[in-house]
Structure 1
């Protein structure tokens, strides 16, 4: 996600977090029958020595069937993140879209938020004590914020740079985990506070699932309204920024003086972040630097054109405040899919709800994008982008559900399940490059002569006589496959990173 490295479980956690308010029920198939009572005859000896037969009732809890699709979908999202972050530089078509449009990398963040919503619906099916649930939601949100700032704020320079530390004047406050924290907090809190309004049985009708959870949808609509009003109504004035290099610091000015602009220079999303966080605390390497207006190497990275506009050198926060408010809608759609899983018992009923909604979202997104009303744009987290990626998530989730939970083709997806069960570990160690950074700390003669470099060069690049192909194969085998095996071993040992 804008290179996750520059940017922290036990079965049943969300993409990067676990809701254990009802840890026995999370990611578990809802069952209509809660328990079975069995009467047994137990011969006992009385005090007087007489043999008597005493009836005992044993309460047997049925084994719940885990929905393996959730773990597999979560694992797929982590795998995509590793692939696009580490191989995206070699293959620009899978890297983030420089501005409008949607590539493979642009699906990662909304897929995370979608599965966060699904898992919250299962974790909060039953809330024994609301105050305790709220405390846990707040604590988990703070943990996510802490890990996000630590890993993506600039403190860690893994895996290539062995130093650590960050200038507090330049620290990045936003990032992947911070966005997940905001969405999780809002969606989980609404789910908790509306517990008493939650129906046990749905009314007849295809739309009853929507009316039953109207407060969740009202929250999503409020987030959508706030985003749309600010995006199209906020006036964006001229702004300036400084860039430091070996020749010193140079100041640039970007001319705006407009509202409703959806281009890189003068959009309201960037303006809000500059006002709230400060221009020095934003992401310094936005993907728009790969646009044709900025470099002759487009769509790849390269030196700036001599006539490149000033905004090409400017920072921009892809996980900023206003765009994160829009991202709440992704979590709302995800929790709807979770509600369907809870209330509908048959496979056909669930798939009917899921697929129909996914297709509707895709149609809305395509119409908005190709009519130029609201282009699909990950950096702005536009409404068409929300619909397109959420619709895609719903279709992929439904496909996984058919293959894994309906048809029982679980074995080919086991490695994704294992990664999904230990998503936090793989995110930190692989996507954030912490494990590679640790390995690089043991070098020979100079810091460039490391085991990771030797493996990349001699086992992959030299063998295939191509740095691009070698990079892709290295990511597939030395990272994704490796962490799939590690996650499988940890799963067999019952070891999970629980946030």
Structure 2
């Protein structure tokens, strides 16, 4: 992630796609979220075997989430140009002039929190493997039906909001970059419903320099770690948990 964020050695496939397209850099975050789900399954299985109560698990999960979110919030908003460094230690400097609420660690923290809650309050059934049994390919889905139902509802909500939510002065279901994209027909519609929901939550306190800004000449802020995208992070993390449910 550090290698990608600092230019990826100048190789094009280690740079994020401006909007459409897919590179190795675009896969780093999904891979990381997938591993979070897998590690949650491993960690909670170990703690359950040690007899850790759900109250202890909940305290641990909540504290870790708070720490991740606060670190991400302070890291994204630290800026000595506000003059706070003159009166307080640098570690406490926060750019109050333009706070950005979403961020990578905030998304990872919230995704971890939801996945950990699913594990904390699930029935923790073990999957009984049987050799050459017709039930094997699908039994984990049926045994974890409540979790799959929750994930299905989340993804349905994402689909409905993305493609059915009316966005003022923009076509419903628009997924483009705005700016000069689409022959300049929708210059102020960057991100469609995703950006509209983020503006409703955060106002203009979002990422001002998205990767589409240079190529598409966009003027609207768009946050790659916004609300709707977090839903899909949870879904990817759940797949990471589910892939290990047969082995823990």
Residues in 1 aligned to 2:149 and 2:219: alpha-carbon distance in whole angstroms: 39
- Corresponding position of 2:96: 168
Aligned 8 A contact 1:286 1:317 in 2: yes
1:16-165 correspondence runs (5 A): 81-88=1-8, 90-125=10-45, 126-127=47-48, 128=51, 129-152=53-76, 154-155=77-78, 165=93
Aligned 8 A contact 1:190 1:215 in 2: no
Q: How many residues are aligned here?
A: 219
- Corresponding position of 1:177: 105
Aligned 8 A contact 2:34 2:240 in 1: yes
Residues in 2 aligned to 1:205 and 1:213: alpha-carbon distance in whole angstroms: 13
Residues in 2 aligned to 1:197 and 1:122: alpha-carbon distance in whole angstroms: 12
- Given the alignment, which residue of 114, 117, 136 partners 1:205? 136
- Corresponding position of 2:184: none
- Given the alignment, which residue of 169, 172, 193 partners 1:259? 172
Residue by residue over 1:405-458, the C-alpha shift from the partner in whole angstroms, topping out at 9 and shown as x without a partner, is xxxxxxxxxxxxxxxxxxxxxxxxxxxxxxxxxxxxxxxxxxxxxxxxxxxxxx
- Corresponding position of 1:277: 202
**How far off is 1:167 after superposition?**
3.2
Residue by residue over 1:50-84, the C-alpha shift from the partner in whole angstroms, topping out at 9 and shown as x without a partner, is xxxxxxxxxxxxxxxxxxxxxxxxxxxxxxx1221
Aligned 8 A contact 1:234 1:268 in 2: yes
**How far off is 1:226 after superposition?**
1.1
**How far off is 1:202 after superposition?**
4.4
Kindly indicate whether residue 161 of structure 2 is the aligned counterpart of residue 236 of structure 1: no
**How far off is 1:123 after superposition?**
1.0
Change (3 A) 1:197 1:341: closer
Q: Which has the higher helix share?
A: 2
Change (3 A) 1:166 1:313: farther
**How far off is 1:200 after superposition?**
5.7
**How far off is 1:197 after superposition?**
4.9
Kindly indicate whether residue 213 of structure 2 is the aligned counterpart of residue 289 of structure 1: yes
Residue by residue over 1:296-328, the C-alpha shift from the partner in whole angstroms, topping out at 9 and shown as x without a partner, is xxxxxxxxxxxxxxxx12221100111111211
Q: Which has the higher strand share?
A: 1
Residue by residue over 1:233-264, the C-alpha shift from the partner in whole angstroms, topping out at 9 and shown as x without a partner, is 11111xxxxxxxxxxxxxxxxxx332110112
SS, match of residue 261 in structure 1? coil
Aligned 8 A contact 2:127 2:143 in 1: no
1:427-438 correspondence runs (5 A): none
Change (3 A) 1:325 1:272: same
Residue by residue over 1:17-46, the C-alpha shift from the partner in whole angstroms, topping out at 9 and shown as x without a partner, is xxxxxxxxxxxxxxxxxxxxxxxxxxxxxx
Moved over 4 A (4+): none
Gaps of 5+ in 1: 1-80, 238-255, 295-311, 343-499
Aligned 8 A contact 2:126 2:246 in 1: no
SS, match of residue 232 in structure 2? helix
**How far off is 1:206 after superposition?**
1.4
Residues in 2 aligned to 1:135 and 1:166: alpha-carbon distance in whole angstroms: 27
**How far off is 1:337 after superposition?**
1.6
Change (3 A) 1:286 1:86: same
Aligned 8 A contact 1:117 1:338 in 2: no
- Corresponding position of 2:154: 223
Larger Rg: 1
1:331-370 correspondence runs (5 A): 331-342=237-248
Residues in 2 aligned to 1:137 and 1:114: alpha-carbon distance in whole angstroms: 18
Change (3 A) 1:206 1:93: closer
SS, match of residue 207 in structure 2? coil
Residue by residue over 1:184-217, the C-alpha shift from the partner in whole angstroms, topping out at 9 and shown as x without a partner, is 11111011101x3523634642111222222222
TM-score by length of 2: 0.81
Residues in 2 aligned to 1:261 and 1:89: alpha-carbon distance in whole angstroms: 34
Gaps of 5+ in 2: 179-188
RMSD (Å) for aligned C-alpha atoms: 2.1
